[in-house]
Structure 1
Amino acid sequence: MAEAAVNGQREPTEKEIRMVIAASSAGTVFEWYDFFIYGTLAGLIGAAFFPSDNETLEILLVWAGFAVGFGFRPLGAILFGFLGDRLGRKYTFLVTVTLMGIATAGVGLIPSAASIGLAAPLIVICLRILQGLALGGEYGGAAIYVAEHAPPEKRGFYTSFIQASVAGGFVLSILVVISCRALIPADDFAAWGWRIPFLLSIVLLGISLWMRLKLSESPVFQAMKAAGETSANPFTESLTYPGNPKRIFVALFGITGVLTTIWYTAFFFGLSFLRGPMRVDESLVEWMVLIAGTIAMSFYIVVGKWSDKVGRKKPIIIGAIASLALLFPIFWGIGALANPGLEASSRAAPVTVNGEQCEYDPFAEVQASPCGRALQDLTALGVPYAIGEDSAPSLAIGTETYDYADLPDDTRRAIVQGWLETNGYDFTRQTPPVVSILGIIGLLLVLGVLSALTYGSVAALLSEMFPARIRYSSMSIPYHIGAGYLGGFLPLIAGYIVAMTGDAYSGLWYTMAVVGFGLIVAWWGLPDGPPRDFEDSERDPPVSPAMP
């Protein structure tokens, strides 16, 4: 490795590099599994810890808890970035994986809200905070550790295994849930079996620690420490190092903003879209996402290797442009294949709601008006609607009109559902034909390709953008601000937009906005041409030769 050789350090052997990649990737898979299992089991977590008569509020509270963990990732990036640049890469991500495993297992041990009341969701939020802190240190440590062992001409290829491991964590969470559902009766799984995937984290933690304890410190860090060149205050230096503010801005919006919103749209929005508005059988959804996600993991490696030849910028730009062009058509296609009857019913018998104060607040336990309650019911049922201008309370379904004003609260939704079924709507769980299932998997794979294009080369790119002495902090801070806030809040924001509009596809506009802005920043700020190391020596100016 170039940096190591300059400082007189022995270059790692191929066998050592394979062990580095395997241990770092396995730890990353396990840690992201711990984080994603919460989202994979969102419905059951909502029932256990955030129960509400408003089903939309219940799931939004789950996504709010999901977002809280992401919100603390930047703080974890600052804390563990400081430790990683001061004390070393290896021991820092040993701490992060331990913290993540303990926090995840803790979720599986919390009594439900029915048992301990408000304490249950508060404990969940606290554990999500710990998970967020841990994850804030994990990705940067694993990515840098591999990058600093890799020869420059293979850095994109070797670090792409870390990128694939993030998808691998999501795939593992789906696989574990499917296995538990197969072994545990449905009622028991809903009552207590959903806790097993969380408790499994203890086993995964043990495997990860065993593998990572076999590793030695990064050769680049060893050389810096031996030469006394480690940073005294990596956080401050990351913000003041010449050229770093621009690089951090580009890393935040032009790299992370793009990759993270596409990633969560492809996997989490796709998962909730099929389970929710499209009403596809949950087990079938999990199998389709599992198959697509498993195959998609290989795309990250292909893109990482490709970036070693064409540079890091080209795949990101292509992926961002393709995402802006294809996201809506892909989801329209998924919807048409998953539940064609819903689209046909909404065309044949469109729903219009009239009434005073016809506003819906997804975060309200009880809506302020009868019209708001009608909108709540339609949202929970996944039925698109329009709001009319008539002040008289009425629900128009095609050519039929119904008065919802005096419906009793305990049977209101069932009555509204009955009206809709009378006019051709079908609320049974859907099992599409095999051809349609294959088509959905194919479209999910296209989403996987878009994600790989914007994500596969990122670990190498971020490692090359920043000087070694502050690399852990400099790349972790923008990455986790972007992933934490732009990506982590995507399920909550997209869910809120869908609830407010009644349009199952409207949440995609959030992704479009973030990717659109990120594309402009990436085009302006990312280096063109073949990959190049960041040079930090007394002979050269302290700016990256790869930056314009």
Structure 2
Amino acid sequence: MSTMTASSARPAGMTKDERFVILASSLGTVFEWYDFYLYGSLAGIIGAQFFSDYPPATRDIFALLAFAAGFLVRPFGAIVFGRVGDIVGRKYTFLVTILIMGLSTFIVGLLPNAKTIGIAAPIILISLRLLQGLALGGEYGGAATYVAEHAPPGKRGYYTSFIQTTATLGLFLSLLVILFTRTITGEKDFADWGWRIPFLVSVLLLGISVWIRLRLNESPVFQRMKDEGKTSKAPLTEAFATWSNAKIVILALLGLTMGQAVIWYTGQFYALFFLQSILKVDGYTANLLIAWSLLLGTGFFLVFGALSDKIGRKPIILAGCLIGAL
């Protein structure tokens, strides 16, 4: 692929290079979310496999806490890999994060359960979840930054909205693979050993992701800054040690991403868990209901991303949080 450079004369539509950047970044991030959400989609079975010494309700709580462990370290992943990205570039950081995520997921598929190796099973499982959280923290923000640095003026919201669809598509893909595996193995065998198959399949997705990412060039904005010697020497200090910058970071975390995260994980992930574990809807039906919901809703990421370029980000964010709260 030819080296991409920023130009003031931009065509009205996406160029071939821009389409490839969005496709490559989005596909890799879809596969990362697939890996991350497999655990959440199978939380009930994971609880029975790795926390089998406890009553069912306690298993569910521990399974959710292990899922939450990945979220606790995501901010650190964003900071660590954001720092790496500022030093060596987005492309190589992408490769590191996707390898960590893919290999961690594959190992979960091979990990013996608590009946086989005792307390070591949940300890290793939580450790792998922490690695996944670190990787996803770096991947998701890095992908959004990479695409934004390729976006032409006035279309940053629309271009980066493709990255926002990846979380939904990753969950959707994980549900499809789970549904297919359940159908082939049957519920009994799926609960016993078939649940491992979606985790093991992730190694194929990892291979595709690495192949695609290797074809990417560095983003033109970062490359130009690097060539001109304008990259930050201490990005973390500049971001957090100065109150004017730290204030923006805090506002972004508490004012922007917190509301979005509550709406997203309650409406899509916890809804699935609630259907299966609390309402006792069978796994196949619960997965099918959430899959249809995701399919119907995904296109609106692009609609509101494009709309944000016309009316601004703030009205979209406020309206989304208000509707979610209602």
TM over 0.5: yes
1:272 equivalent in structure 2: 273
Q: Cα offset for 1:137?
A: 0.5
Deviations for 1:119-170, whole angstroms, at most 9, x for unmatched residues? 1111101111111111111011100110000112111111101001111111
Secondary structure, in 3 states, of the residue corresponding to 1:149? coil
Q: Which residues of 2 match residues 467-482 of structure 1 at below 5 A? A: none
Q: Which residues of 2 match residues 83-122 of structure 1 at below 5 A? A: 83-122=84-123
Q: Cα offset for 1:53?
A: 4.0
Higher helix share: 2
Contact 2:48/2:56 (CA < 8 Å) preserved in 1?
A: no
1:309 aligns with 2:310: yes
Provide the C-alpha distance between the structure 2 equivalents of 1:284 and 1:186, rounded to a whole number of angstroms.
12
Q: Which residues of 2 match residues 278-289 of structure 1 at below 5 A? A: 278-289=279-290
1:123 equivalent in structure 2: 124
1:207 equivalent in structure 2: 208
Provide the C-alpha distance between the structure 2 equivalents of 1:26 and 1:272, rounded to a whole number of angstroms.
26
Provide the C-alpha distance between the structure 1 equivalents of 2:264 and 2:221, rounded to a whole number of angstroms.
31
2:264 equivalent in structure 1: 263
Secondary structure, in 3 states, of the residue corresponding to 1:200? helix
Deviations for 1:461-505, whole angstroms, at most 9, x for unmatched residues? xxxxxxxxxxxxxxxxxxxxxxxxxxxxxxxxxxxxxxxxxxxxx
Q: Cα offset for 1:13?
A: 6.8
1:196 equivalent in structure 2: 197
Deviations for 1:13-51, whole angstroms, at most 9, x for unmatched residues? 700000000000000100011000001001111111111
1:222 aligns with 2:238: no
Query: Identity, % of aligned pairs?
Result: 52
1:73 equivalent in structure 2: 74
Q: Which residues of 2 match residues 230-269 of structure 1 at below 5 A? A: 230-241=231-242, 243-269=244-270
- The structure having more radius of gyration, on CA atoms, is 1
Q: Cα offset for 1:278?
A: 2.1
Contact 1:86/1:234 (CA < 8 Å) preserved in 2?
A: no
Secondary structure, in 3 states, of the residue corresponding to 1:276? helix
1:322 aligns with 2:323: yes
Q: Which residues of 2 match residues 509-520 of structure 1 at below 5 A? A: none
Q: Cα offset for 1:185?
A: 2.3
Q: Cα offset for 1:240?
A: 3.1
Provide the C-alpha distance between the structure 2 equivalents of 1:47 and 1:13, rounded to a whole number of angstroms.
48
Q: Cα offset for 1:276?
A: 2.6
Name the aligned partner's letter for residue 206 of structure 1. G
Provide the C-alpha distance between the structure 1 equivalents of 2:210 and 2:183, rounded to a whole number of angstroms.
29
Q: Cα offset for 1:324?
A: 2.0
How many residues of Structure 1 are paired with residues of Structure 2 in the alignment?
A: 319
1:300 equivalent in structure 2: 301
Provide the C-alpha distance between the structure 2 equivalents of 1:53 and 1:83, rounded to a whole number of angstroms.
41
Q: TM-score, normalised by structure 1?
A: 0.57
Provide the C-alpha distance between the structure 2 equivalents of 1:324 and 1:119, rounded to a whole number of angstroms.
40
Secondary structure, in 3 states, of the residue corresponding to 1:153? coil
Provide the C-alpha distance between the structure 2 equivalents of 1:137 and 1:77, rounded to a whole number of angstroms.
4
Provide the C-alpha distance between the structure 1 equivalents of 2:169 and 2:230, rounded to a whole number of angstroms.
36
Provide the C-alpha distance between the structure 2 equivalents of 1:41 and 1:272, rounded to a whole number of angstroms.
8
Mean CA deviation greater in 166-175 or 242-251: 242-251
Q: TM-score, normalised by structure 2?
A: 0.94
Provide the C-alpha distance between the structure 2 equivalents of 1:132 and 1:195, rounded to a whole number of angstroms.
20
1:144 aligns with 2:180: no
Name the aligned partner's letter for residue 69 of structure 2. V
1:61 aligns with 2:62: yes
1:369 equivalent in structure 2: none
Change (3 A) 1:246 1:22: same
Contact 2:78/2:134 (CA < 8 Å) preserved in 1?
A: yes
- Spell out structure 1 runs of 4+ moving beyond 3 A: 3-6
Q: Cα offset for 1:277?
A: 2.5
Name the aligned partner's letter for residue 267 of structure 1. Q
1:367 equivalent in structure 2: none
Contact 2:31/2:205 (CA < 8 Å) preserved in 1?
A: yes
Provide the C-alpha distance between the structure 1 equivalents of 2:118 and 2:53, rounded to a whole number of angstroms.
12
Q: Cα offset for 1:242?
A: 6.4
Provide the C-alpha distance between the structure 1 equivalents of 2:277 and 2:120, rounded to a whole number of angstroms.
28
Contact 2:185/2:194 (CA < 8 Å) preserved in 1?
A: yes
Q: Which residues of 2 match residues 450-465 of structure 1 at below 5 A? A: none
Provide the C-alpha distance between the structure 2 equivalents of 1:155 and 1:20, rounded to a whole number of angstroms.
13
Contact 1:90/1:141 (CA < 8 Å) preserved in 2?
A: no
CA RMSD of superposed structures (Å)? 1.7
2:136 equivalent in structure 1: 135
Q: Cα offset for 1:5?
A: 4.5
Provide the C-alpha distance between the structure 2 equivalents of 1:197 and 1:188, rounded to a whole number of angstroms.
14
Secondary structure, in 3 states, of the residue corresponding to 1:174? helix
